[in-house]
Structure 1
Amino acid sequence: MKADAIAQIMDRLRKAGYHIVGTHSAVKKCHWTHVALTQRRFCYKCKFYGIASHRCLQMTPAVIWCWLRCLHCWRAEPGDLGVQWDDTGLPVVDDPEFIVEKTIEEQRKIISGYKGHPKVSPEMFEEAMNPKHVAISLSGEPTLYPLLSDLIEEYHKRGMTTFLVTHGVRPDVLAELNPEPTQLYLSLEAWDEKSFKEFNRPILPGLWNAVLTSLDLLPSFSSPTVIRVTLVKGFNDKPEALKGLAKLIERGYPTYVEVKAYMNVGYSRYRLTKENMPRHNEVREFAEKLAEEIGYKVLDEQRSSRVVLLSRLDKPIRVGEGCPGGNAGEDLPEGEEYRMSEKIK
């Protein structure tokens, strides 16, 4: 029955545009890949860190597996569609080299449809066919994949940079990462154990303490670290949350803080509404207050993605090669990321 349930949900994901790789991994086209190729506009990762959107591969090694069932997550969670499965651990473990080769292969299949597109330059098409960056962040909790270090190493062997995004539920895995990702993200929405249980809905005991342990590990990383605060209107946009998040950020002392608006996309639409999406001015206002609390500076922002970058540095570290002949989308209308994510599947 569990196998049947997983097969059902994988089939639903394929219909939603996910390219399933092996048993537990997936690739999906980011809307900014489309925008970069057809309009030469790039996401905030380019503006902040020099990551070219058309050369960015978005993947996960644990597409439907996680120890949290966060309200804002676009992952398909057991119960969303009346399909139940055990999402606490991978049913088998695929080889990291296989995953890397197949995710690049699937990305090339995705990009191949742009060959000959009247708005896509041959140069950018060729670049996109050879991705230079991988965002290990698409869905699920990547630290549940037991060969995560080997996966990162395989991408690095191919000259690719890696951004790893985790909720910090496996500090044991983070402590043993070797090599480290190019940049490490820890996502926070809750500010204490009560709000964590309410919003992130852990399915195993002790996970709030695990998150705190992961925060304590961040200063030990030699690579840049980021605490991503997803701002959810009506939940963590209040003074109590701001004060609590500030204390957690001070504990982790990351290189950056990204304050980013929740987007009502994917399976999160079963749990939250468009009214939970803050506008950019609300994100900016919250970010400014947070910066004052933690002693960081507001370095940059991108209105189209409703994101604000804070740091103790004077300028962000450019880990990528930048974006050719375009801009980072700073002049796009607010909410363009949301509208594009609805259109591009």
Structure 2
Amino acid sequence: MKYDAWILSNVWPFNTSAYAEAVEVWHEYRIPIIISTFTILMIVRTVLHTRLPREKLSITPPPASPTLAAEKKIAPVGTGNKKPISEKVTEKVPRRIVGGVKKRNSSQDDVVTGDEKIQVLVFFSSLTTTTEKTAKVFTEGLAQKLKSVNKASRFIEPEILDLSYIDYDEYFINPPKSDSNVQYFYLLLVPTYNIDTVLDNFLEHLQETHNDFRIDTAPLSPLLGYSVFGFGDREGWPTEADGFCSQATDIDKWMAKLTARKRAFPLGMGDPKTDATERLKEWKDGVEDILEHIAETGGLGEGVVGSGDAVESDVEDVDEDDDGEVLFAEQKVAQKKTKSSKKDDMNDMEDLGKTLNKIAAEAEESGEIEIDFTNFSKKAKKPTAAPVIKEMVPKDSPTFNSLTKQGYSIVGSHSGVKICRWTKSALRGRGSCYKYSFYGIASHQCMETTPSLSCSNKCVFCWRHGTNPVGTTWRWVVDPPEMIFDGVKAGHYKKIKMLRGVPGVRSERFAEAMRIRHCALSLVGEPIFYPHINEFLSMLHAERISSFLVCNAQHPDQLATLKHVTQLYVSIDASNRESLRKIDRPLHRDFWERFNACLDILKKRRFEQRTVFRLTLVKGFNIDDEVEGYAALVEQGLPCFVEIKGVTYCGTSSSASAGLTMQNVPFYSEIQEFVLALTAALQKRGLGYGIAAEHAHSCCVLIASDRFKNERGKWCTRIDYQRFFELLEGGGEFRPEDYMGEETPDWAQWGNGGFDPRDERVYRKGKNKVPLAVKAEEEEGGE
């Protein structure tokens, strides 16, 4: 303040009082004034900056590519280019590449419209003209057949092409583009050679095309479909695993990858010395059916043979990636090419056996060890180690993880046990399955297991969604029956104990459940496939556990050697060859012959043990117009019982490519109509069958032979289990009638629903909890 006063008195020449007031105002409001001023300046600067146009920092264009400059007749910068900058020159710029592969939806698959033509291309390879002659005859027959089918006008004359003379790039990188109005269907007929031929180059081309990062992994997906037939020599390569038709197998695999799994018909294989003519005819008939289907519908179809999906899950692969088929890590095994040690032996498939025998004879004379005919090379090599037999379901495999997530306990490497939902229901007093109504099996005392998780079918209604392994022959480690028996019992009891705290479990039934009385060998897979099935059955019977074994009628040799079981089931899922092929999707090529052989075996053994035909009805597959066919099969096998059951819907079966929906599940009224029609057909043939029992809750009905009526004419479908074990332990011969049990209860007979009145029927979704018998009485009273 003293300094201010000195200023006012000595320096400031004006009115001191006014200045003093100004200073006081400044001292009091200086901070708001500074802030306001700064804010205003920033606002003004921002407004001016946005309104003024920006100027380019440089008017010099970027250096032009010398190549582009030459094409456009423009001198590059720095070479005397004096054109004005304002002149605009349009230059090509590199196309932006977006990563990733565009996935095709099923709705985007190529289909044939009304205006498009279908061209069948038949490719072949041959050294001694054997395959060439066969391919020409095949193509001529195919051409004649296509002229007589529906929509024949859509087909162009089939063309035959030799793989030795064509340019692979024109056909196997992209389909031919000669006419946009034509869609192509590939057929390949190839033999398997034991020398270097054009097929080695062809296979290398297919593999490189699939793995080339510059090309789509499935460049042949616009094709309508493809199929491969291979010729081979079983004298040298008796099985597919040993190399029989190995090159055809490889071509089929790589074509599946390149076409996005458009395998129209399964790989065909035949030996020219034995069955090639018959196998080729079967393959040709299947291909013709598919072509006719394409012409009528525009596509391969879904859920049936010809959908392009896997034939079986144990197709061996050569690398880690697969083409979307059901392949598991433990099943991806490297295949080795089959080549001879002598190049000058230019043999077609009809001479392969002689060559192999010659090589084997030379090795034997020289004292060398046995030659592995699956691994030919320039020089015969001695095997360094014995082949490793793999496990069916290793602990670190996706198959193991998938099955355990579904509630299975895996025992050893190929067996499993699981708690049935009816076991849980019986423990809570909510009813047992149809086996209790028909045969007196208490579900809470029943163990559901299998000694083989592998199956030889890929049924469209399989509950396991195709997650279990499949195969036609046993090629895995074999676990001892003692280990399996102890393991499945321990796994079952462990799961029963886990239900101890479930609300509603009855204590007396829980105590009863800790004593296994019955074993249903029907969990998954093919129990009869297990090499030691008879030893396993003996262990069950030694502890007085009844055995109910279900097989799929594809293993007649094992069925013929099967010893006594309490009750033997055979799945009869269709009445004719074509229907069985579509619904069971069997892996065996002679599936129909195997099927009929099993029925003949059952007919011979019908007086040794109780035999049952199990019919699983799937609407749209095996119900319509098949009653007479089923009656003929019953007449052929003459089983003791026929079970008719509606398929159980278990969610979308996308893994098995079945495509089942709730529309495929028949109503119980439809099952009843079918049963009445089948019974009438059987009686018309004089076979002596009648409707004995039903279980409406399972959508299941039992037709029985008149052999199982007592002297009073009453049905006796139940089993005297104690008597069965006494007869079995006696060692003598006995008949199914010898251990026929008591009369079938009234509540289980036809027309009464089949629900045990001691249990409580629980209706879901808010429905009343009313026993079927009570409900039926109420309905009758209302009428």
Structure 2 equivalent of residue 212 of structure 1? 596
Q: After TM superposition, list the pairs within 5 Å mapping 1:162-201 onto structure 2.
A: 162-178=547-563, 180-201=564-585
1:152 aligned residue (534, 537, 540): 537
Structure 1 equivalent of residue 663 of structure 2? 275
Q: Is the alpha carbon distance of 1:114 and 1:75 closer, same or farther for their aligned partners in structure 2, counting shifts above 3 Å?
A: closer
Q: Does 1:50 align with 2:440?
A: yes
1:37 aligned residue (403, 411, 427): 427
Q: Is the alpha carbon distance of 1:121 and 1:144 closer, same or farther for their aligned partners in structure 2, counting shifts above 3 Å?
A: same
SS at match of 1:67: coil
CA contact (8 A) 1:62 1:90 kept: no
SS at match of 2:694: strand
In structure 1, the gaps of 5 or more residues are 337-345
TM superposition shift of 1:279: 1.0
CA contact (8 A) 1:236 1:242 kept: no
Which residue identity does 2:517 align to in structure 1? Answer: K
TM superposition shift of 1:193: 1.3
Which residue identity does 2:609 align to in structure 1? Answer: S
Which residue identity does 2:398 align to in structure 1? Answer: Q
TM superposition shift of 1:231: 0.6
Deviations 1:55-112 (A, max 9, x none): 000011122x11111111123426x9xxxx6633351111112111111111101100
Which structure is larger by alpha-carbon Rg, 1 or 2? 2
SS at match of 2:452: coil
Structure 2 equivalent of residue 339 of structure 1? none
Q: After TM superposition, list the pairs within 5 Å mapping 1:1-345 onto structure 2.
A: 4=330, 6=393, 7-63=397-453, 65-77=454-466, 87-88=471-472, 89=474, 91-178=476-563, 180-221=564-605, 222-239=608-625, 241-265=626-650, 268=653, 270=655, 271=658, 272-295=660-683, 296-313=689-706, 314=709, 315-319=715-719, 329=755, 332=761
Which residue identity does 2:661 align to in structure 1? Answer: T
Distance 2:509 2:633 in 1: 41
TM superposition shift of 1:333: 7.3
TM superposition shift of 1:329: 2.9
SS at match of 2:428: helix
TM superposition shift of 1:244: 1.0
> Which has the higher mean CA deviation after the structures are superposed, 272-281 or 194-203?
194-203
Identity %: 37
TM superposition shift of 1:280: 0.8
Q: Is the alpha carbon distance of 1:269 and 1:34 closer, same or farther for their aligned partners in structure 2, counting shifts above 3 Å?
A: farther
CA contact (8 A) 1:304 1:335 kept: no
Distance 1:38 1:96 in 2: 33
SS at match of 2:515: coil
Which residue identity does 1:319 align to in structure 2? Answer: I
Structure 2 equivalent of residue 341 of structure 1? none
Distance 2:432 2:755 in 1: 5
SS at match of 1:39: coil
Distance 2:446 2:544 in 1: 13
TM superposition shift of 1:118: 4.9
CA contact (8 A) 2:599 2:636 kept: yes
CA contact (8 A) 1:261 1:307 kept: yes
CA contact (8 A) 1:161 1:320 kept: no
Q: Is the alpha carbon distance of 1:57 and 1:244 closer, same or farther for their aligned partners in structure 2, counting shifts above 3 Å?
A: same
TM superposition shift of 1:17: 0.6
SS at match of 1:165: strand
The RMSD of aligned alpha carbons is 2.5
Q: How many aligned positions are there? A: 325
Deviations 1:113-166 (A, max 9, x none): 233545223321121111100000011111211111111111111110000001
Deviations 1:211-232 (A, max 9, x none): 1011011133311110011011
Q: Is the alpha carbon distance of 1:335 and 1:188 closer, same or farther for their aligned partners in structure 2, counting shifts above 3 Å?
A: farther
Distance 1:335 1:263 in 2: 17
Structure 2 equivalent of residue 340 of structure 1? none
TM-score scaled by length of structure 2? 0.40
Structure 1 equivalent of residue 378 of structure 2? none
Distance 1:269 1:107 in 2: 29
Give the structure, 1 or 2, with the largest relative contact order (CA under 8 Å, sep 6 or more).
1
Which residue identity does 1:204 align to in structure 2? Answer: H
Distance 2:690 2:414 in 1: 39
Which residue identity does 2:616 align to in structure 1? Answer: T
SS at match of 2:544: coil
SS at match of 1:162: strand
Distance 2:692 2:559 in 1: 27
Structure 1 equivalent of residue 777 of structure 2? none
CA contact (8 A) 1:73 1:267 kept: no
TM-score scaled by length of structure 1? 0.87
Which residue identity does 2:699 align to in structure 1? Answer: R
Distance 2:424 2:719 in 1: 22
Which residue identity does 2:603 align to in structure 1? Answer: P
Distance 2:436 2:603 in 1: 25
SS at match of 1:311: strand
CA contact (8 A) 2:411 2:488 kept: yes
Distance 2:763 2:506 in 1: 27
Q: Is the alpha carbon distance of 1:86 and 1:42 closer, same or farther for their aligned partners in structure 2, counting shifts above 3 Å?
A: closer
TM superposition shift of 1:287: 0.8
Q: Is the alpha carbon distance of 1:269 and 1:43 closer, same or farther for their aligned partners in structure 2, counting shifts above 3 Å?
A: farther
Distance 1:112 1:229 in 2: 34
Q: Is the alpha carbon distance of 1:30 and 1:307 closer, same or farther for their aligned partners in structure 2, counting shifts above 3 Å?
A: same
SS at match of 1:164: strand
In structure 2, the gaps of 5 or more residues are 1-319, 321-327, 332-392, 684-688, 710-714, 722-741, 749-753, 766-783
TM superposition shift of 1:172: 0.8
Distance 1:13 1:320 in 2: 35
TM superposition shift of 1:33: 0.4
Q: Is the alpha carbon distance of 1:110 and 1:211 closer, same or farther for their aligned partners in structure 2, counting shifts above 3 Å?
A: same
CA contact (8 A) 1:51 1:133 kept: yes
Deviations 1:197-246 (A, max 9, x none): 2221121221211110110111333111100110111111112x111111
